[in-house]
Amino acid sequence: MTAQTLEPTPVRRTAGPRAIPFLAATGFVVFWSCGFIGARWGTEYSSAFNLLAWRYLLAGSIAAAVLLIRRPRVSRKDLVTQLVMAVCCQFIYLGLIFIGIDHGITAGVTALIGSLQPILIATVAGPLLGERVTARQSIGLLLGVVGVGMVVADDLTAENAVLFLLPIGGLLGLVVGTVFERHRKPTVGLLNSLCLQTLVSAVLFVSVTAVTGQLTVPREAAFYGATLWLVVLATGGGWGQYLVNLRLSGATRISILMYLVPPTTMVFAFLLFDETVGGLAALGMVVCAIAVLLATLRSWRNRGGWMTKSSKPGERSSQPSGW
């Protein structure tokens, strides 16, 4: 009897699975940019922490209701992870970012500082997370720095240089939280993660705002419009998409998307606040787009989806564990 070699049946890839990571990446850029716009809008009527307190009072109430309905089982390890993520990525990051915008740093410059996250992530991702940074990605990272610098170059002045310590401190909080999450690899679902972090942040922001005497009830209807904007687009959309992309891609490659946030923020600022975009900024947007394509195009072609991490045999996949 002659042994025959069985040819593997080719698997036909569908457009759906490939489109999901791309749509998640696009949604992250758009919604994350909305956070900076909402911060500028809301701080015109109130202090930064009062705005954040109202934002998380509403978002935290929704999160508490969702958790009561779902009643998820969360291990102690995952609970600690979500607590640290809330402190680093929401309380510290957003608190310092909003204070900086409240003191006059424009949304574009704040977004620029946030987009420096890839350099910090790439520096620590290799030794701490085992995520390899390729030469193509390194070039994309450096090109992205050039692009975002061009986008907001006109906003940098010697007078407000000290204020940059605020968003820089917030950026460090976001980096620490991101690396911590990838190191711990939580198994709790994304919706439960978002709700737990939002609830913890609500307690922190409301408590600090009340203790410092900043908790007020603004009379302007526009303030509550900005609050709803932040809850729906920034908390639900932006942070939700951040968690989705973080689990789909890993810390290094999702951070590359940060380079698209400053130009996107400037487009929104032009449409909503009539802030003009100069020729240098427009050229910087093109450079940012090239940087992202350079760093991710190979992943699109070779992995059947945007920024998908491969798993070794017997290793837990980094795909989302569900909403």
110-125: average pLDDT: 74
Q: What is the rounded average pLDDT for all residues in the chain?
A: 79
pLDDT for the residue numbered 304: 43
CA atoms within 13 A on the CB side of 298: 11
CA-based nearest residue to 93, from 188, 191, 234, 254: 234
Ranking 12-16, 57-61, 79-83, 129-133 by mean pLDDT, the lowest is 12-16
CA-based nearest residue to 121, from 255, 30, 313: 255
pLDDT for the residue numbered 126: 61
- Is residue 262 within 8 A of residue 292, CB to CB? The reply is no
CA dihedral for 38, 254, 113, 182, sign (positive or negative): positive
CA atoms within 13 A on the CB side of 51: 31
Q: Is the pLDDT of residue 249 over 80?
A: no
- Distance, CA of 230 to CA of 224 (rounded, Å): 10
CA-based nearest residue to 58, from 222, 236, 211: 236
Tokens of 159: 């007078």
pLDDT for the residue numbered 127: 64
- Is residue 215 within 8 A of residue 106, CB to CB? The reply is no
Q: Is the pLDDT of residue 1 over 50?
A: no
pLDDT for the residue numbered 53: 97
- Is residue 144 within 8 A of residue 119, CB to CB? The reply is no
Q: In the chain, what is the straight-line distance between the N-terminal and C-terminal CA atoms, in Å? A: 52
- Give pLDDT tens digits for 4-22: 444 444 444 445 566 777 7
Tokens of 21: 């990571």
- Is residue 49 within 8 A of residue 218, CB to CB? The reply is no
303-308: average pLDDT: 41
289-300: average pLDDT: 67
- Give pLDDT tens digits for 84-104: 999 999 999 999 999 999 988
- Give pLDDT tens digits for 27-37: 889 998 999 99
**Three-class SS of 114-143:** HCCHHHHHHHHHHHHHCCCCCHHHHHHHHH
CA-based nearest residue to 239, from 18, 44, 55: 55
